[in-house]
Structure 1
């Protein structure tokens, strides 16, 4: 079974930096067409540049607030105009925001549910609807129609007060993944997720810039003894997006260097 995604078209959200950008670049390297979506147009332009506007390029970008349904519809239309369809959706748009669970006016749980859960859910609903309407199974009723991969976190299964909002939104993404997997399975669309631990993402870089002492703490609590690269997450995402995982759906693959095997609740999961 091949892990190839060559010739496939993917939408990658949260693609202006960090893990989303790493996934987008990796997919292009593997021969896929990629539409990079993010709210930050200046970062998209800086990272993707003029190649993202070239009619012959395999990578394009779309800037907009994906919390809005109309923006999602416009993103889907732009992808179809550029590449004539969509085979893969990578919901990589996510934020990590600390909160104080004892403060009643702290609205960061609501904020992260909207940002991390609802954006991914609405993207999944609209893209899967298009996939179903335009599926081509070439005479094979069991052939693949599409693959959707969500980004989650081991924070969904760990407990740390300052991470409550992020943990709740991550747990919600996990359950949304399972529910959509069951709903879309009869139609040939698979839905899986990658739950990762300490990866050198844009958010972790920001945290380490302020709290350098966290670096050794994270490494010490990770059995493999290091922080993962964004590329390693991208390769796992490729596996789930490819036909090599064709009999997998509703699964949450953990990529954490063994962290959840030993991690005490006193250590934040960044």
Structure 2
């Protein structure tokens, strides 16, 4: 994914949405075309002029189920219900249902004067264009992806990427705190912190809290709850005493408590 994003150089949210949908087995083969078309190294082509309005954002490449639904209505006169049936047929690989919808699409396109006019502009027969579009949609059925899902994933990736880039310490503190009970993940994320050039300071009775935090110097401080065998109740008592007596006396207080036992 990183390799393709570097090549893509996304400068709009829609690029992230499309890349989320394309970066899967099957549609990955279209990523080089998407990148080349974005940067003007490959011509953007539409099988029919009417398709431009719904494929313009993805440079003429069908990426989402919703694009097929909208195009089936615009080209073939499908109702909303019929276009949703087409979506279901593609998503569940119901090729028998798609074959039935093909007849409906043929009829609707030929009855659409704008579709017929567009074919004349291309100097192609309507049936030739219809068959080409449908053939592509049948192939698309094997990897069709829901745009609303891709938007959610892209939005999450954008937000977390922004936080990691602009608030790296706070972001990593949150990630580490989310995995307090998993030492393997803690180790992995601490290595990532070091790779990013951040200091990861060990547990400190005078500064550590329950979870990972960022101190005044901007360094990450280990959360005491991530120490094996140390429960949340113990940590909260330590923090309570520290707030009551001051940080400088914490070691003496704990030593006294251990001796008295």
Structure with greater proportional helix content: 2
- TM-score bracket, normalised by the shorter chain, equals under 0.3
Name which structure has the greater RCO, CA cutoff 8 Å, separation 6+.
1
| Rg comparison, structure with higher value | 2
